[in-house]
Amino acid sequence: MRLPDSIWALGLLSLASICSSPAFAQEQDDDGVDPAVDDLVDDAWASRSALDAVMDEPEGEVLELSLEAARAIGLTNDLRLQSLQEVVDAARHREVGSWGAFDWVFNASGNLSESEADASNIFDAGAGSIDSSSQDLSFGFDRAFSAGGSLSVSYNHNNTKTNSFFNLLETANQDVLAAVYTRPLMRGAGGDYTTSLQGIAGLRWDRERESFRLARQGILVTVDMLYWDLVLAESQMSVAGSALDLALEQLDRDRRRRAAGVATEVEVIQDEATVARRIEGVLLAETNLRSAMDTLRSAIFPGVGADTWSVQLKSITQLPVPDGSSVGADWQAEIDSSISQRAEVRIAELDLEIAKMQHERTINEKEPLLDVLVQLSSQGYDASVSNAIEETLTYEFPTLSAGLNFQLPMGNVALDREERAARAELRAAQLGLDAQRSEVATGLREALRRVRYQSEATRAASKTRDAAQRLMEAERSRYEQGLSTNFQVLEFQQALVEAQYAEQASRAAYGQALATLARERGNAGESQGGQAP
């Protein structure tokens, strides 16, 4: 009977126990082989070869991958996570930059003018025309304070030359040094309002960090799910190979019994049909394995080149076995802990804080404008530049003034509606937070329930598989003693195969339930020290 040296997927996953079994033996000459059986097996594997030719999938190097390694690679290579990291950095830069509103600002200006005009009064009539030239230079520093208010310090120098009779000096230098402090008393008053934009920028940075943390946890859970799918596909491939071995052994046994006149042709035909079904099962398991491998590859190795998606993955982390330590007894404590850790809840809480600060700003901005201004200035006037500057800086001629600036919008419709809109957004944020907390509690209860169920289901599936194994061996013993039929042996074989499938699927589902529980708890990947940036 001619069979290929090995199944590609089995060789890939180093399933030596299967590859060395009779189901995957090399060509052998057996005069007792039924030609119909040989044709049956050859046709089945010929169909598989045709399927491989149609797929034409490149096979790259084999990468042995643990669950922890898959997580690390997924986090490192995920393009969307890298994009979110840039968003977090942008929010951080904006938050730091927002405090620049309280930096000193330097300003300067200069002006040069020349003018000539007809004399317009009797005193300048003798001059015929009035010639004037002026040079003006101003500079100063402005700053707003985080506690409220602003300070402006300026210095102005003016040099004027004219032949006008009315000027005391033909060449005059006038310097003015002034300091003006403005303090809001109503609208814009208080440090809370003054720094509210900076506070909002900080909250938005925190929000982006939580969004990054949420995406990071989502990647870890996705990788966990896909990794367990791959492990399950490998296990199902192993089970399919073992099932084919059992069918071929039974076929070989009944062929020999038929040659001895003990078995009937019907029993051999049943065996042949079973072999065909088991080969189909191997082909299906291989297809599922390729799909699971490709899905995991796309998650941890993004790209369209064959060098990325042709890497052959081999899992080395075994399916988890329930130990009962994953679920706490106090569900309310679990819910409270989850609410405090879930990124979605933190995002909703930050949205609420932002809405509160924006609402407080609109309340402040509805008030009338009332500012107090205090100004201290000094002036110097002289034909000499140095004397004018000295008079100014020594405050020989100081001036102190104070005043009020009041402004009241008539109707105030725009600001009133803005405050109402902010109040509605605040209420929406509060409702969103309450809804998010409720969703977290519901999702966590379901995750806890699912873990407990899968834990018990896995134990039950293991017991079922043990029982099916013992029943199949007992039935085979009875068959060899002539106390059972071929049909019953095949039934018990099928029951064992199904029990093996169910056990592996249950353990994989348990691993995925644990990943879901970690996501619902809000600490997926953080028990190993992973944190948001």
CA dist 193 and 184 (Å) reads 11
**Which pair of structure tokens corresponds to residue 443?**
């999702």
For 141, left (φ over 0), alpha (ψ -120 to 50), or beta? Answer: beta
CA dist 222 and 216 (Å) reads 10
Residue 272: name the closest of 124, 490, 72 by CA. 490
Class of domain 8-42+60-86+202-349+432-521 (CATH, top level): mainly alpha
CA dist 312 and 233 (Å) reads 14
Q: Are strands 312-315 and 62-65 parallel, antiparallel or unpaired?
A: parallel
User: Residue type for 35, please?
Assistant: P
CA dist 88 and 214 (Å) reads 13
- CA-to-CA dists, residue 77 to 83, 110, 219, 221, 533, angstroms: 11, 56, 11, 15, 16
Domain ranges of the chain: 8-42+60-86+202-349+432-521, 104-144+149-187+369-407
- The confidence score (pLDDT) of residue 191 equals 85
Q: pLDDT of the chain along its 533 residues, tens only?
A: 333 333 333 333 333 333 333 333 333 344 444 555 556 555 555 555 554 544 556 677 888 999 999 999 999 999 999 999 999 999 999 999 999 999 999 999 999 988 776 656 555 555 556 667 889 999 999 999 999 999 999 999 998 887 665 566 778 899 999 999 999 999 999 889 999 999 999 999 999 999 999 999 999 999 999 999 999 999 999 999 888 988 888 888 888 888 888 778 888 888 889 899 889 999 999 999 999 999 999 999 987 777 777 889 999 999 998 886 666 668 888 899 999 999 999 999 999 999 999 999 999 999 999 999 999 999 998 888 899 999 999 999 999 999 999 998 888 899 999 999 999 999 999 999 999 999 999 999 999 999 999 999 999 999 998 998 898 888 888 877 777 777 788 788 888 888 989 999 999 999 999 999 999 999 888 754 444 44
The DSSP string of 313-373 is EEE-SPPP---S-SS-S-HHHHHHHHHHH-HHHHHHHHHHHHHHHHHHHHHHHHSPEEEEE
pLDDT tens, position by position, 335-363: 999 999 999 999 999 999 999 999 999 99
- Would you call 468 exposed, middle or buried from its count of C-beta atoms within 10 A (0-12, 13-18, 19+)? buried
**Which pair of structure tokens corresponds to residue 282?**
């191997």
pTM over 0.85: no
- The confidence score (pLDDT) of residue 487 equals 76
Would you report the helix, strand and coil content of the chain in percent, each value rounded to 5? 60, 15, 20
369 backbone dihedrals φ, ψ, rounded to 5°: -90, 120
**Residues whose CB falls within 8 Å of the CB of residue 160, separated by 6 or more in sequence, listed in order:** 132, 133, 134, 135, 167, 171, 172, 174
Distance of CA 374 to the CA centre of its chain: 52
- The confidence score (pLDDT) of residue 509 equals 93
- The confidence score (pLDDT) of residue 260 equals 84
- CA-to-CA dists, residue 33 to 36, 40, 268, angstroms: 9, 12, 12
- The confidence score (pLDDT) of residue 122 equals 56
